[in-house]
Amino acid sequence: MLLVAPEFEVLYSGEHCLNELIDASSDERAGTLVLSYLGIRRAIGISGLLLPVLLGPVGWLVGIPFQDNMSSYYHTPLRDVFVGTLCAIGVFLLCYRGYDWVENWTANLGCASALGVALFPLDAGSDPLVQKSLIGYLHTFSGGVFFLTLAFYSLYHFPRDSRRENEPHLFERAVVYRCSGLVIVAAMMAMGGYLFLLGDDWKQMLNDYNFLFWMEWVAVWSFAAAWLAKGRTILADIAVDVLAYSRELALQQIRK
């Protein structure tokens, strides 16, 4: 039998307890970081969800008519809502760190473009392609880059990161993310067709129905849906569970 001196038993016991405390502390820090990143994702999603509602319907209720596009709200009493929300989204993206340098630079580009949209206003009462100032053109350019970065998140980063994070219902989540990205791209194509291809008569007719505003609303809510799903909000998780259950029922029917 191997005898161990009492002092060595005490040292071993103390070292063992210290290792357990370090492991527990590491797990706690990891859990805190997970909650922090989920919080950033949720904050971005909620900001995108609320922005069109506050500008459009809420603005109309307080006497501000629907504008041709969201950027035009800069020249209304709702300027602070428009600028503040986009600045908040930009800061959240700046704080968001991904799994590699590509995702980090995507977030940085999204941050810069969101701040560009907020701080470089569109010229009042103007066509986004025909501006009177360099600042107006910077706004138009920043808006295009902003939507492109959000579409890239939905089409590439989020489906890939779901596999790394072992999220439940990977197939359904990938469908949500990619559909979100495709809707953003489709909305951008519709806005591009409006701006580059249509004549003045058609533009005026669509302006009467605030075409750009509604297309921007569709794109913003699409990116909000993706970020809320990535942030594992309750309603988003319920929607994913419903998709997974429906798919399973459909597969069972096919197998029969």
Per-residue model confidence (pLDDT) at position 30:
41
Contact in structure between 223 and 48 (CB atoms under 8 Å): yes
Total Cβ atoms within 10 A of residue 251: 10
pLDDT in tens, 160-196: 988 888 888 888 899 999 999 999 999 999 999 998 9
Judged on CB neighbours under 10 Å (0-12, 13-18, 19+), 5 is exposed
What confidence category does residue 135 fall into, taking pLDDT thresholds of 50, 70 and 90? very high
Q: Is the pLDDT of residue 89 over 70?
A: yes
Model confidence, pTM? 0.83
70 DSSP 8-state letter: G
Rounded to whole angstroms, the Cα distance separating 241 from 232 reads 12
Is 125 in a helix, a strand, or coil?
coil
Q: Is the pLDDT of residue 23 over 50?
A: no
Contact in structure between 122 and 136 (CB atoms under 8 Å): yes
How many CA atoms are closer than 13 Å to the CA of 117, on its beta-carbon side?
27
